[in-house]
Homo-oligomer: A and B are copies of this chain.
Amino acid sequence: MHTFIPEEPGRGSVVNLRHESEILKGNPLGDPHGRDLFVYLPPGYHESDERYPVVHCLTGFTGRGRMLLNDQAFTPDLAGRMDRLIAAGRVRPMILAMPDCFTWYGGAQYINSTATGNYEDYLTQEVVPLVDANFRTVADRDSRAVMGKSSGGYGALIMALRHADLFGLVCSTAGDCYFEYCYMQDVSKALRAIDGDPIRFMKKFWETEKKGKNDFPAVNFIGMSACYSPNGKAFDLPFDLDTGEIRRDVLDRWLEHDPVRLVERHVEGLKSLRLLFIDAGSRDEFALDLGARILSKRLKEHDIPHIHEEFDDGHFNISYRQDRSLELISEHLP
């Protein structure tokens, strides 16, 4: 365990619990199974024998835990943010875990896939126990939260849907929802960049440091296909590579992963949560504000308690919204 940021008076520390994952060993992409796991320990952690609630913080597509600690001039990293919130008495001291579920395709959506690997298992069966085993957590679903933005919000929703036994508090900011809108707006850009061969595209993408303007839509479609519509170790794209026409059968496989469609299968678990919080910017470039509205409507239809908020912003540069999730988690702990 390596100390990434040493403790200073009034500030927490960050350690990297680098480990070998059994579950990711032999993953289909040959991605490393040695993984970083950055963990924030609140001020005072090392001087006490107290146990702390833990929040698993999931990054968006193309992200991994360490990025939450990137240094910026006028915005605190997640550790600095937490220091500030604790110092201001807005949030209780808590442990934050920042796992790495990055893949060669840019991410894993925190679900199992034959094309990327079993990242849902990795998170629930390895990361959670690892954190509990190595740090003084309150190792209890009522004191274990998960939060994230964008695909990290999607991951949090997946935990709410399928792992309410593990995570009692869930916050999704601009989480991927209502796939018709959030993904399908950039088919033509993706098509142009992919140019008939997704794997050739990915190889070139990794080799070329200067990215083209249509490259991210392309990676996004490829990554989501690898997660939602794998085909053995390969995957199917939801559109025809020549004309762009929607492949309805593939899109239907995607929709089976859409939170707004999954709610009805997991009503009891969802109802058991101490906190279910969803928010999005009212100008979200991927219409995830609409995704959140539709999800909220589904939740209401099944009488599932939750908090739904919109804020006046878009999809990017909204890390200040982490304050709101962390405060709500802190409030809803036992």
Contact = CB atoms under 8 A, between A and B. Distances in A.
Nearest to A34: B8
Contacts of A6: 2
A243 interface: yes
A180 B6 CA distance: 44
B244 A287 contact: yes
Q: Which has the most chain B C-beta neighbours within 10 Å: A184, A185, A289, A290?
A: A290
Nearest to A4: B4
In the complex this chain forms, how many copies of it are found?
4
A212 to B, nearest CB: 12
Contacts of A289: 188
A313 B210 contact: yes
A320 B187 contact: no
B181 A74 contact: no
A155 to B, nearest CB: 16
A66 B73 contact: no
A313 B242 CA distance: 19
Given A181-B187, A284-B188, A74 B206 contact: yes
A330 to B, nearest CB: 19
Interface in A155-211: 178, 180-181, 184-185, 187-188, 191-192, 205-206, 209-211
B181 A297 contact: no
Contacts of A70: 67, 70-71
A28 interface: no
A106 to B, nearest CB: 7
A180 to B, nearest CB: 6
Contacts of A242: 293, 297
Interface in A61-103: 62-64, 66-67, 69-75, 102
B246 A180 contact: yes
Of A66, A181, A191, most B-chain CB atoms within 10 Å = A181
A146 B148 CA distance: 40
A278 to B, nearest CB: 13
Interface in A202-261: 205-206, 209-211, 242-246
Q: Which 6 A-B pairs have the closest CB atoms?
A: A244-B290, A209-B320, A70-B70, A62-B73, A243-B293, A188-B287
12 contacts: A2-B3, A2-B6, A64-B73, A67-B71, A74-B211, A75-B209, A184-B185, A185-B185, A191-B290, A192-B282, A209-B320, A244-B294
